[in-house]
Structure 1
Amino acid sequence: MTAPEDHDYDVIISGASVAGSAAAIMLARRGARVALLERRSDPAAHKVLCTHYLQPCSYPVLDELGLVPALEKAGAVRNEARWYTRWGWIEPKAAPSGPELPYAYNIRRSTLDPMIRSHASGTPGVDLLAGHAVTGVIREAGRTVGVHATGPDGPTELRARLVVGADGKDSPVARFAGIPAKSHENERFSYFAHFRNLPLRDGITHSWFLEPDVAYAMPNDDGVTVVAVIPDKKRLPAFREDLEGAYLDFVRALPDGPAIDAAERITKITGTVNYPLHSRRAGAPGVALIGDAALTSDPLWGVGVGWALQSAQWLAEAVAPALTGRGDVDRALTAYARRHRRGLAGHQHLAADYAKARPFNPFERLMFSAAARDAGMARHMHLFASRIIGPLRFLNPVALARASAVNLRHRGGPSPAPVHLPHPTP
């Protein structure tokens, strides 16, 4: 192993959005020297295509980063939620004698990204190199040992004991390092826009599971509400014919939907018609991937920012002792990749299956229907939807038995059918 003094840095991170900035902060606090490269020069640069939803699983990371007071001051909305199903609304509430439900925040990336990037740049041990794009990696003896980059002063070369790709779903670092992606097609597409003066009941997030179509409305900072529609691709021709008309008709037809016509739209309608799910090995010799570079899931679940923060924390915890103590970095990377897979692979498997734009399967029907009928099951659903618990705990035998008992009490009533929105006429 090359000695640290032969490197420019302990860690080079490509990408200074949520995952990269969080990793830079946590690694530097643990004693690592970090170069944080960001291809964009604008300090206000931010990701546009995002749910702007920080899952409750990310709250411990936000707390470690020291961002909670700043988020609250910026007007971030604590994210309670309710979900519409054919059996009625699932409305998780804290137990009368229990603790409050876990939460994190809804906050626009135009607020969050500059905030966390500024926090990183002010952290001792972090050098933020704005306007620097990675153009290749340096490999020696089968191991990545640095990057080629271009910046305001032209090409440059940086070396480090670890290179981190925090550079999104199409990750150049992963491509240069030869780490392939496994992809799953997404049979839904999505469009969203931001509104003012769009009140939601109780001021909390609403989601609609219409089997197979999905939609959500999320209150954010500064009184802005994000409204997204995520339909089956069978509806795509109508949206291509008249995007605004199809989008508005879809929202107007939502059961108990928001009063979209009374609100002020403050952004254009934007989105994507092809957003496959990607997953990559999170660690390789000399390289780690975090955030969307490691795993890009279906945007309808709003997990991207939360998982970006969690993966950054997992990486820092795994590799910092080796980086600062001259230990075996690659062995630490193997441990990180194992933790990443253990924490997220099950969730990704379920997301990839649901991305087929199918109706609920029998297990989903059992759990969603019970959650709409029973407060305890609604809390259990909240823990899973918040990614506090994984699929095995969500579908454990005790939970399945309780869901079955709840539904047996409702046996004999009419069996509701899925709500299908009318197809817009081009």
Structure 2
Amino acid sequence: MTRPESTGYDYDVVVSGASLAGSAAAILLARRGVRVALLERRSDPDAYKVLCTHSITANAYPVLDELGLVPAIEKAGAVRNEARWYTRWGWIEPKAAPGGPELPYAYNIRRSTLDPMIRSRAGGTPGVDLLLGHQVTGLVREAGRTAGVRASTPQGEREIRARLVVGADGKDSAVAKYAGVPGREYENGRFGYFAHFRDLPLHGGLGHTWFLDPDMAYAFPNEDGVTVIAVLPSKKWLQAFREDLEGSFLAFVRALPEAPPIDSAERITKITGTVNYPLHSRRPTAPGVALIGDAALTGDPLWGVGCGWALESAQWLAEAVAQAAATGRGAPGDLDASLVAYARRHRRRLRGHQYLAADFAKARPFNPLERLMFSAAARDEAVARHMHLFGSRLISPLRFLNPVAVATASAVNLRHRRAAAPPPHAHLSRTEP
């Protein structure tokens, strides 16, 4: 693509990172008339992220729909991510209300399928130049703001100028580092390992999550009959896993309530994971820079929210900045104002969720409010549906814990205690003295 002479820029926007967030942002921006360079440091168009829950929460379904990916995802065999959750009070099994609409859903799909799919869609979108093997090595600075990137490419070093640089390059974002974007890190008191199994039956064919208070595990069915099983124990178990990873992983899974029958299934990958996965929160903008996906906010993987938030943040950015970023359409100063709007929306939608996740990542036992909501959800279908909306990130923490919801959960538990209590004077003899 030639440089627009009137602007002095090669592109309107440079996006660093062509996985979920970056590819989605490139597509959505280009459809709105923005010229986009989509950079990916890896040269393989089929490259994908390995360390992932491989699940997209229901909040991101509208983004998948706007991208036009839903038919392709379903054709690839993705599994709707209905689920049940184990607690010490029993299983929480969200179900649609009788006569009501089906519960919101998105999909479980492996990144080895999804990443090449969305990257190919981006590369075929008019207005997007997909540049593989391009790794950002620095930023172009001009008049106190970012005006492009320097990149290492198969042909050597290259400078690419743009009105806006988007960091979609993960939790260790080079764009954020070079831009000096401040951030905050939260320690994670759990570690995680996972493996893929083929032909592993799960109760009802549903995804399973185990809240073992404080340890965690999940099993998510994916396309091609492959199930991802992850264990996320508190770090008190770390030494045992270091001494015998395979034995500890398998023993942990076998001990789960209604444990998946892993011994009769075929394990098709090695056990992989990480012993240190802190949560990150960064300011999502700087002059001439926007961050999306894990570059802006890295959540706790046990909640499976990363893919959904990557897609949502890409959509929020495109909606906020497209008018201002497109050549010849935005007035001076409009881009800064649009970045302020994006940052405000990002904080409003995700800050509360991240606050709760960072607190739960301390690997502490359930607090009283969590005990109230989880126990009531195991006993009442309406509360279970309410929890499903929160787990799908379709409602905010404030709405999840609103006074009516808390009062309802309290009433459910009170009825449960009364029903379980022995009748008055049951210990006395029925015969009169």
**What TM-score comes out, normalization by structure 2 length?**
0.94
Q: Does 1:386 align with 2:392?
A: yes
Q: 1:26·1:316 contact (CA, 8 Å) conserved in 2?
A: yes
For 1:423, the equivalent position in structure 2 comes to none
- What is the rounded CA distance, in whole Å, between the counterparts of 1:6 and 1:217 in structure 2? 51
Matched with 1:207 is 209
| Displacement after TM superposition at 1:292 (Å) | 0.2
- The SS at the match of 1:411 is helix
Q: How much does 1:4 deviate? A: 5.8
How far residue 256 of structure 1 moved from its aligned partner, in angstroms, is: 0.8
Question: SS at 2:417's partner residue?
Answer: coil
**1:349 equivalent in alignment to 2:351:** no
Pairwise CA distance, 1:367: 0.4
Q: RMSD in angstroms over aligned alpha carbons?
A: 1.1
Establish whether residue 313 from structure 1 lines up as the match of residue 315 from structure 2.
yes
Contact 1:4–1:161, Cα closer than 8 Å, also in 2: no
Displacement of 1:407 in angstroms is: 0.4
Find 2:229's aligned residue among 224, 227, 230.
227
Specify the code of the residue in structure 2 equivalent to 1:352. Answer: A
One-letter code aligned to 2:69: L
Deviation at 1:97, TM superposition (A): 1.5
Distance 2:283 2:108 in 1: 29
Q: 2:300 aligns with which of 298, 301, 319?
A: 298
Indicate yes or no: 2:330 matched with 1:326. yes
Q: Where do 1:222-261 residues align within 5 Å?
A: 222-261=224-263
C-alpha contact 1:148 1:158 (8 A) present in aligned 2? yes
Matches within 5 A, 1:83-98: 83-98=85-100
Q: Which whole-Å CA distance do the structure 1 matches of 2:394 and 2:265 have between them? A: 34
Whole-Å Cα distance in 2 between the matches of residues 3 and 157 of structure 1?
A: 16
In the TM superposition, residue 197 of structure 1 has moved relative to its aligned partner by 1.4
Q: How far apart in 2 are the matches of 1:83 and 1:247?
A: 20
CA change 1:167–1:22 in 2 (3 A) is same
Aligned residue for 1:137, secondary structure, equals strand
Task: Report the equivalent of 2:143.
Answer: 141
The answer for the alignment partner of 1:401 in structure 2 is 407
User: Which one of 349, 371, 374 corresponds to residue 368 of structure 1?
Assistant: 374
What is the distance in 1 between the residues matched to 2:21 and 2:350? Answer: 15
Identity among equivalent positions (%) equals 76
Residues 315-353 of structure 1, C-alpha deviation per residue, up to 9 Å, x if partnerless?
000000111222311110011001000000000000000
Q: 2:82 aligns with which of 64, 80, 101?
A: 80
Q: Deviations over 1:11-60 (max 9, x none)?
A: 00000000000000000000000000000000110000000000000000
Structure 1 residues 176-215: Cα deviation after superposition (integer angstroms, max 9, x where no partner)? 0000220000000000000011100111100000000000
Distance (Å, rounded) in 2 between the aligned partners of 1:88 and 1:104: 25
Work out the CA distance in 2 between the residues paired with 1:179 and 1:142: 14
Whether the 8 Å contact between 1:54 and 1:104 is mirrored in structure 2 is yes
- C-alpha distance in structure 1 between counterparts of 2:6 and 2:235, whole Å: 51
- Match of 1:68? 70
SS at the partner of 1:268? coil
Q: Where do 5+ consecutive residues of structure 2 fail to align?
A: 422-433
**Is the partner of 1:149 in helix, strand or coil?**
strand
Which secondary structure state, in structure 1, belongs to the residue aligned with residue 7 of structure 2? helix
Task: Give the letter aligned to residue 87 of structure 1.
Answer: W
The one-letter amino acid of 1:360's match is F
Q: Which residue of 1 aligns with 2:126?
A: 124
Helix, strand or coil at the partner of 1:159: strand
Q: Distance in 2 between matches of 1:178 and 1:142?
A: 12
Provide the secondary structure at the position in 1 that maps to 2:197. Answer: strand
CA separation of 1:11 and 1:255: change in aligned 2, threshold 3 A:
same
Matched, 1:17 2:23: no
Q: Tell me, in whole angstroms, the C-alpha distance in 2 between the residues paired with 1:212 and 1:351.
A: 13
Confirm or deny: 8 A CA contact 1:3 1:326 kept in the other structure: no
SS of 2:208's equivalent? strand
Residue identity matched to 1:335: A
Whole-angstrom CA distance in 1 between matches of 2:223 and 2:340: 39
Q: In structure 2, the residue corresponding to 1:382 is in which secondary structure?
A: helix
CA contact (8 A) 1:144 1:287 kept: yes
Q: Distance in 2 between matches of 1:5 and 1:163?
A: 15
Aligned residue identity for 2:14: I
Match of 1:421 in 2: none
The amino acid of 1:174's aligned partner reads A
Residue 267 of structure 1: aligned partner: 269
| SS of residue in 1 equivalent to 2:408 | helix
Secondary structure (helix, strand or coil) at the match of 1:5 reads coil
| Aligned-pair CA distance for 1:5 | 2.6
Q: Where do residues 51-200 of structure 1 align in structure 2 (5 Å cutoff)?
A: 51-200=53-202
Give the letter aligned to residue 108 of structure 1. Answer: R
Distance 1:331 1:3, change over 3 A: farther
After TM superposition, where is structure 1 displaced by more than 2 Å over at least 4 residues in a row? 2-5
Check 1:259–1:4 CA distance in 2 against 1; reply closer, same or farther (3 A cut): farther
Q: Distance in 2 between matches of 1:273 and 1:64?
A: 36
Structure 1: runs of 5+ lacking an equivalent: 415-426
Aligned equivalent of 1:422: none
Q: How far, CA to CA, are the matches of 2:342 and 2:141 in structure 1?
A: 21
Q: 1:362-418: per-residue Cα shift (whole Å, max 9, x none)?
A: 11001000000000000000000000001000000100000000000012549xxxx
Equivalent residue for 2:8, pick from 6, 9, 17: 6
* Inter-partner Cα distance in structure 2 for 1:126 and 1:51: 28
Amino acid at match of 1:342: R
Q: Check conservation: 1:11, 1:33, Cα contact below 8 A.
A: yes
Please report the TM-score for the alignment, with normalisation by the length of structure 1. 0.96
Following TM superposition, by how much is the alpha carbon of 1:3 offset from its aligned partner in structure 2, in angstroms?
A: 8.6
SS at match of 1:103: coil
